[in-house]
Structures are given as structure tokens and as C-alpha cells.
Chains A and B, each alone.
Chain A
Amino acid sequence: MRISVKADNLRRAVEIFKELREKYPMRSIEVFVVSDNDGSHHHN
């Protein structure tokens, strides 16, 4: 199942995406930028 994460700005999204790629090189990962959310991570 794809790892799905939300970030509250672009720079944070880049950081989260890099961290997740390093940790899960074989998994599907998606990172959304949601300006009006609280910036917390939501893993499906």
C-alpha cells in the first residue's frame, strides 16, 4: 500500500519525501502539500 503523507508547505514536503525515500526505497510514497492543514503526517 502506498505511503501517503501531508505537509503544510513545499520545503517540509521535500524534507519528508527525502526521509521516506531513504527509509523505504522500494515502497510507493506520495506527499501532498496542504497549506491549510496542521502539517501532521497521515500514513495510510
Chain B
Amino acid sequence: MTEVIITTDRTMMTNHHGKEFIGFMTTAPPIFMPEWLWMKISAPKMKVNEKGEPWQAPYGLRKIEAALLDAGIDAAVIDPDHLGKHIDEAKVIAIGHHDYFALGPPSSEWWVLTGKEPVNSKSFRKLMERPEIRRAKKNGAKIIVGGPAAWQWLYMPELIDKWGVDTVIDGEGEKVTVEIVKKALSGEELPKFIQVGAEDVPSLHQIPLIKKASVNGLVEISRGCPRRCRFCSVTLRPLRHYTLEMIERELEVNKRAGVEGCILHSDDVLLYGSDSVYPRPEPIIKLHELARKYFKSVGWSHFSLSAVKYAEENYKLMSRLSEMLLEDDDYVGVEVGIETGSPDLAEKIMPAKALPYSAREWPSVVIDAFSIMHELRIVPAATLITGIPEEKLEDVTKSLELVDELKPYRSLIVPMYFVPMGLLRDKNWYRAQPTQEQMDLMKACLRHDLFWIDDLARWYLRKANPLLRLSIRIFISLVKRAASRYLFI
């Protein structure tokens, strides 16, 4: 019996065949194939134990599980196909997601471009309408939702009503979730909405350490970011770096469970151990030595491009990391944010992103960082924002120019089309039309990606199972064929 079930839908409760980047497919509707095949490729089911606990689970859910277990509460992450085993005893169902209703980029962008609902929101709706969840609700269980997409519930009050959501928690949830779950278990009145402010954010030593394996071995190394970009909520959080001992304990958990690699997660891995925007080589090298002690395959979540340039030009740090992690013909991927090619827009919306360089130098910082990574076989998967309210036509033109200049560098560039928040109140929000210039920018990104896709797919899929490799190769050739007409290439 488990009193508190922590769960989510299939697009989240999966390890994407061990290929984190394939997870992006769950933010789109199926293209050139039926939905069942799209789901099989992007969100395969994971093996579970006799209780229905998946062998890997999203890191955020593992943190909530750890916080509840540390508080002496009987909680477990349960796979959505195995809820029935616990549902009659469950008193609380805690649910997390990174894009409940496909309102965030890139899901919203695929929805606008294709007019079709992405699989992540469809899959989440199926979860909430499962007979097991409805039965639990009828039995009096409380439903608590949270995670990075918690804000989306504010645009869906009719679904809060329909599905009987009791509390929405927005922000770092480890401390507040324990408080709310305790209230739910003792029958106290629950708030409908909570924003986790500075007073409720866990300090470094209040952050619980995961007790069971995370998806693809992801472990957090830092939380928060000092750059304060206007479009990003992470900057509202205080910067905290895990100690090496904390990181080692989480690496051990994943290693014991049989996970084959690790992903070091932070909003900027290169700022690990730094209290400013200047990377410090010593803590970063120690961190990577530690990770390599446990895993041959070590990956990263995010770098800032200014840190890449600074770290290489001042300490040859990127070269050292590449030597530590890569064998002869290997690549390693990382997410980075270009966001704009316009110095004017950079000054307005992300004045500190280029630091220690000036925001006016931003396009050249991006090019230098891409050049460094290309030489070292580090592959950036970059985001580029369009559609934010401050953007002018000239800004989009500058971004287009930058994308052209990045062509020689092995990379993927993913445009992020922002749907204005005001439009989300309208249920037909996805009919928002990008301008011609914004469409041109998205096409330029697609053209760049198609230029590099064969090289990248050869590397990325070399150890994938043959069926997955074949499916994705067929998909890529269909996209290329369709794009050749659309992009005139």
C-alpha cells in the first residue's frame, strides 16, 4: 500500500530509449506516421517492479519522492500503467509535468505550425481521464499538481474543476509539497494555488537527494542562475551549488540501479562552483573526474555560450573537458541558448547573458563559442526565441543573419516561437499566426538543421537498436523530402 502516489503521463515517464534528445518528439504531434508509432519511438514504456515503480523516473518526481520519504511519508513514483495497484489506498496523487497542456515552447510552436495538438498534452489528458484516477478521486484522494509547467493550470480553470485538482504548486516544491501532503493526509483545508517564494525555497542542505534512479542518469549539480534574463523564471531562484559529496550520492544511486551514463544538470554547468559569471576550472575538473569515476558516458544539460568562450580562451577548459570525456570519433551534445542575434534585443531582454562580455558583442560571442565547440566535437542544440513582445523586425533580421553565419558549425538550432500569454486565454490560441519574417527565421533554422542532420544522426543513433535507427532514418528522409519543396533546397 502506498499512501502518496507520484506519477505523470507516458510522455514523461520514459527514458526515450536512453536518448534524451528523442524526448523532443513528445512535444510535437505525429508527423508522417501514426500516433502509436510516434509514441513508441519517442516515449517507450519502461520496465517496472512488482509494485509498478519504474526503474527510472523524471528527476523532479524523484526529488519530490525523496522529500516525502525523508519526512516519513509513505510515497512512491508509480508508472501510469500500474496505478490500479495502489489507487484504492492512495490518499494523495501528486503529478508533475514540464508541459501539461503544450502551452510552452517548443510544443506551442509545433501546434501553431501544424494546427495539430502535440502528443504530450493528449497523453496527459488520457492520464487524467483514466478510470483509476477518477476512482481515486471518488474515494476522496487529493490531487496535487506541480512542476515547471504548473503555471499552465492558471489558463485551464475548467480542467481544475473537471478533474478535481485540489492544489497547484508553482516553484521549487520540495518543502511546500511535504507541507501540503501532510495537510491532505490529516484532512486539513488545502490552498488551491501556491507560489513558492524565497522563504519556502529549500536551502542547499534542505534539497533532498534522490533515492531511486532518474531518467538517463540525470543528476543536478546546481540550481538557479545569476544571469537574470527577462524571459526565464530560473533567475528568480537563488544560486546553489551541490557539494561533490551530494552529487556522488546521487551518482551512486543511478549506478546501483544499472543506469549506463549520467547527465550533469544545471542551468549552466560551466558555472559549477562559481559565485559569479566567471567559470572556475578547479571545481569543474573535480566534478568531471567524479562523474567519470562512475560512468564512461558523461553528458551535460546546459552551457551558456559566454562561459564556453571565456573558459576556453582563459583556461583551455573546454579542450580539457573534451579530452576527458570524448574518444576519437565521438561527439557530445549540450543545450545552449542563442535566443537572439540582435544586440539591441539582447540588451533589453538578457543584458547579462553575454557577461563577462558586453551584450553588444553577443553575436560574436555566439559565433566564437560555436567555433570552439565545433573543433572540440561538442554539439550544441541551441534555442532561438522569436515572438516575444519586445521583438522588432530588425531583431528578426539580425537573428536570420546569425543563423546564416553559424552554418559551418556542427549544431542544431531550434526556434522557439513564443505565443503571447494574453492569447492563451482564448481556446483557439494555437491559430496565432507568426509573421513572414518569423516564418523565414524558422525556415532558416530548419535549413541549418537539415544541413547537419545526417552527420549528427550517424553519431547519435550508432548505438541505438536497429529498429529505432531505421524508424528515425526513414523519418529524417521524409522530413528532408517534404522540406525540399517547402524550403527550395
- Do A and B pair up? The answer is yes
Interface residues of A (CB under 8 A from B): 1-2, 4, 7, 10-11, 13-14, 17-18, 20-21, 24-33
Which one, A11, A25, A31, contacts B157 given CB within 8 A? Answer: A11
B200 within 8 A of A: yes
Contacts of A32 in B (CB 8 A): 189-192
Contacts of B157 in A (CB 8 A): 10-11, 14
Contacts of A13 in B (CB 8 A): 192-193
Q: A10-B160, A21-B170, A26-B198 are in contact. List 6 more A-B contacts (CB 8 A).
A: A2-B199, A4-B191, A17-B193, A27-B198, A28-B176, A32-B189
- Name the residue on A nearest B197 (C-beta): A28
Q: How far is the CB of A5 from chain B (nearest CB, A)?
A: 9
Contacts of B190 in A (CB 8 A): 32
In the complex, are the beta carbons of A31 and B193 less than 8 A apart?
Answer: yes
Known: A10-B192, A26-B236, A28-B194. A17 touches B199 (CB 8 A): no
Give Cα A30–Cα B194 distance, bound, in whole angstroms.
4
- Name the residue on B nearest A18 (C-beta): B154
* 12 contacts across the A-B interface (CB closer than 8 A): A2-B197, A14-B193, A17-B195, A24-B197, A26-B197, A27-B195, A27-B199, A28-B176, A28-B194, A28-B195, A28-B196, A31-B192
Within 8 A of A (CB), among B276-297: none
Contact flags B231-265 to A (C-beta < 8 A → 1, else 0): 00000100000000000000000000000000000
Per the CB 8 Å criterion, the residue count for chain B at the interface is 19
B161 within 8 A of A: yes
Give Cα A26–Cα B224 distance, bound, in whole angstroms.
13
Give Cα A30–Cα B198 distance, bound, in whole angstroms.
14
Q: How far is the CB of B436 from chain A (nearest CB, A)?
A: 33
- Name the residue on A nearest B233 (C-beta): A25
In the complex, are the beta carbons of A29 and B194 less than 8 A apart?
Answer: yes
Specify which of B176, B194, B195 lies most central, judged by the most chain A CB atoms within 10 Å of its CB: B195
- Name the residue on A nearest B194 (C-beta): A30
Chain A facing B: main interface SS: mixed
- Name the residue on B nearest A25 (C-beta): B236
Contact flags B170-194 to A (C-beta < 8 A → 1, else 0): 1000001000000000000111111
Give Cα A2–Cα B193 distance, bound, in whole angstroms.
12
Specify which of A13, A28, A31 lies most central, judged by the most chain B CB atoms within 10 Å of its CB: A28
- Name the residue on B nearest A27 (C-beta): B197
Give Cα A43–Cα B136 distance, bound, in whole angstroms.
34
Q: How far is the CB of B202 from chain A (nearest CB, A)?
A: 13
Q: How far is the CB of B238 from chain A (nearest CB, A)?
A: 10
- Name the residue on B nearest A33 (C-beta): B192
In the complex, are the beta carbons of A29 and B199 less than 8 A apart?
Answer: no
Contacts of B189 in A (CB 8 A): 32
Q: How far is the CB of B325 from chain A (nearest CB, A)?
A: 37
Specify which of B176, B194, B197, B200 lies most central, judged by the most chain A CB atoms within 10 Å of its CB: B197
- Name the residue on B nearest A31 (C-beta): B193
Which one, A7, A10, A29, contacts B195 given CB within 8 A? Answer: A29
Q: How far is the CB of B86 from chain A (nearest CB, A)?
A: 28
Give Cα A20–Cα B170 distance, bound, in whole angstroms.
13
Q: How far is the CB of A7 from chain B (nearest CB, A)?
A: 8
In the complex, are the beta carbons of A17 and B200 less than 8 A apart?
Answer: no
- Name the residue on A nearest B190 (C-beta): A32
Contacts of B194 in A (CB 8 A): 28-31
Give Cα A42–Cα B191 distance, bound, in whole angstroms.
13
Contacts of B161 in A (CB 8 A): 10
Give Cα A8–Cα B161 distance, bound, in whole angstroms.
14
In the complex, are the beta carbons of B200 and A2 less than 8 A apart?
Answer: yes
Q: How far is the CB of B267 from chain A (nearest CB, A)?
A: 18
Specify which of B161, B190, B192, B196 lies most central, judged by the most chain A CB atoms within 10 Å of its CB: B192
Specify which of B161, B191, B196, B198 lies most central, judged by the most chain A CB atoms within 10 Å of its CB: B191
Give Cα A32–Cα B161 distance, bound, in whole angstroms.
14
Give Cα A10–Cα B157 distance, bound, in whole angstroms.
7
Q: How far is the CB of A13 from chain B (nearest CB, A)?
A: 5
Give Cα A17–Cα B150 distance, bound, in whole angstroms.
13
Q: How far is the CB of B151 from chain A (nearest CB, A)?
A: 8
In the complex, are the beta carbons of B154 and A14 less than 8 A apart?
Answer: yes
Contacts of B236 in A (CB 8 A): 25-26
Q: How far is the CB of A29 from chain B (nearest CB, A)?
A: 4
Which one, B154, B160, B192, B199, contacts A28 given CB within 8 A? Answer: B199
Known: A10-B160, A25-B236, A31-B192. A17 touches B197 (CB 8 A): no
Give Cα A1–Cα B197 distance, bound, in whole angstroms.
9
The 4 A-B residue pairs whose C-beta atoms are closest, nearest first, are: A28-B197, A30-B191, A27-B197, A29-B195
- Name the residue on B nearest A1 (C-beta): B199
Contacts of A29 in B (CB 8 A): 193-195, 197
- Name the residue on B nearest A4 (C-beta): B191
Give Cα A2–Cα B198 distance, bound, in whole angstroms.
10
- Name the residue on B nearest A20 (C-beta): B195
Give Cα A33–Cα B191 distance, bound, in whole angstroms.
7
